[in-house]
Amino acid sequence: MNKYLSLGFLLFFPWLVFAQSFESQEFERLINAPDDTTKVNQLLALVRKYVGDSLELSEQLAGEALRAAEKAGDEMSLVKAYKAKGTIINYRGGVEEAIECYDQALAICADRPEFKWEKISILLNIGVVYFYAGDDGKSLEYYIEAESLCNEPSTEDLRAKIFNNMAVIYRKLNRFEDAARIYQKSLKIKSNNKDSLGMATTLNNIG
């Protein structure tokens, strides 16, 4: 079988019309997925793989993941699909539309314990959206809310990222003492987690 799918074959599958560079094995796994939840996970993996090559393709894949999640009735898959779509839309500059996707995911998460990690991650993402949109105050608001939920060992990696992003804003606002204090919190968590790459990034930010 050819390594790459031909456009003619893909025309039978409109939602993959842009995926001319898909490897045949990837496509076979999709069409032979045993259930929609598995298909969602496979599609989201492809979103991550191709985001650097084509935002158009990645957004299309995220949309298909969302449809598969809706068909499966799997709420965790829905949350992940909404989050992926929101992230891709934000990459192409669709701030309001990205926030809408994230809000859809947050509505599912609510205060349910099993969705806590995803909720924190989404709040962090919204903070990033507002930061790059130039709204530092709104960005900090979401970072602070996200950090307030990080009260379990499983959320420490997210807390380190949140602290790092908060410190970036404080430094931007010339609140250098606050920035240094928050950077140190991030550094401590990364050190405890033996995250050498994360430590290097934070140390570079500290200067």
* Whether the predicted pLDDT of 123 surpasses 90: yes
Long-range contacts of 47-55 (CB under 8 A, 24+ apart): 47/84, 47/88, 51/88, 51/91, 53/21, 54/18, 55/88, 55/91, 55/92
pLDDT digits (tens, 9 = 90+) for 16-39: 444 455 565 666 676 667 788 888
Determine if the pTM surpasses 0.85: no
Q: Is 134 left (phi over 0), alpha (psi -120 to 50) or beta?
A: left
How many helices (H) and strands (E) would you count in the chain? 11, 0
Comparing CA positions, the residue from 58, 45, 49, 69 lying closest to residue 15 is: 58
> Using 50, 70 and 90 to split pLDDT, how confident is the model at 8?
very low
> Using 50, 70 and 90 to split pLDDT, how confident is the model at 6?
very low
**Residue 133, amino acid:** A
Q: Is 110 left (phi over 0), alpha (psi -120 to 50) or beta?
A: left
> First and final CA of the chain: distance in angstroms?
53
pLDDT digits (tens, 9 = 90+) for 154-203: 999 999 999 999 999 999 999 999 999 998 998 888 888 788 777 777 77
Rounded CA-CA distance 62/68 in Å is: 10
pLDDT digits (tens, 9 = 90+) for 46-64: 888 888 888 888 888 899 8
CA 123 to mean position of chain CA atoms: 10
Are 202 and 187 a contacting pair, CB within 8 Å? yes
Rounded CA-CA distance 7/103 in Å is: 36
Rounded CA-CA distance 18/98 in Å is: 22
